[in-house]
Amino acid sequence: MIIPPLALILGAVIGLIVRGHRRGVALIAFSAPVLALGAFAAQFVPGGAESCQSSTNGSTVCQSLPAISGWGGPLPYAIATCLVLLSLVPVVSMRMGGWRLAAASAVLQSVPQVISFGGFLDWAPALLATTGIAFALVWHRPSRRSGLEPIPPPPSAPPSISG
């Protein structure tokens, strides 16, 4: 239960540190989807759950299982998919130059972690990156060239006079 608030606090600190550094902000923004995809892939690796069987002579044999072996029904898969999609928002937020989308994404990413008491703990690094982008952009004034504004075409050559 302590991990989501810790991720939010560390994300805020990192965001304030990289504020004003375009490459740092871009690195954190593009790392959020990578971290979320890594968290999703980690659910398929053995180690997230354990299955044990006892015999009548008293010996117990345990084996490591992937975390998805404990997921019942479509809800955990839907939540994991939404967490991956929400991790794409920092890239969009950075491109648009606004902090509100990243902040909303961070809030939505923290909800399943709080409700499940850390059941979606592997997504904490993506939450940290999303929070970092929100804080990096919160007091940032977008320049004329930032955002989705098209870059004007280069000036054309003067027309030639044929004679």
Q: Look at residue 150 and tell me if it is in a domain.
A: no
Mean pLDDT of 127-154: 69
Q: pLDDT tens across 95-117, in order?
A: 888 889 999 999 898 888 777 76
Mean pLDDT of 7-26: 88
User: For residue 113, which of 126, 123, 99 has the smallest C-alpha distance?
Assistant: 123
What is the structure's pLDDT at 157? 56
DSSP 153: P
Say what the pTM is. 0.74
Mean pLDDT of 2-18: 86
Q: pLDDT tens across 59-91, in order?
A: 888 888 787 777 778 888 888 899 999 999 999
Q: Look at residue 71 and tell me if it is in a domain.
A: yes
Q: Look at residue 149 and tell me if it is in a domain.
A: no
Q: pLDDT tens across 30-41, in order?
A: 999 999 999 888
What is the structure's pLDDT at 150? 44
Mean pLDDT of 129-149: 71
Q: Look at residue 159 and tell me if it is in a domain.
A: no
Q: Look at residue 151 and tell me if it is in a domain.
A: no
Please enumerate in sequence order all residues whose Cβ is within 8 A of that of 136, keeping only pairs 6 or more positions apart, or say none.
15, 16, 18, 19, 24, 25, 28, 99
What is the structure's pLDDT at 56? 81
Q: Look at residue 115 and tell me if it is in a domain.
A: yes
Strand partners, 49: 65
Element (H, E) at 48: strand 46-54
What is the structure's pLDDT at 1? 62
**What is the residue range of 32's domain?**
3-137
Alpha-carbon distance of 99 to 113, in angstroms, equals 22
Q: Look at residue 122 and tell me if it is in a domain.
A: yes
Q: Look at residue 160 and tell me if it is in a domain.
A: no
Token pair in block for residue 70: 């404990």
Q: What is the overall mean pLDDT for the chain?
A: 81
The vertex-57 CA angle with 54 and 63, nearest 5°, equals 30
What is the structure's pLDDT at 156? 64
Number of structural domains (the chain) is 1
Alpha-carbon distance of 116 to 70, in angstroms, equals 13
Alpha-carbon distance of 151 to 149, in angstroms, equals 6
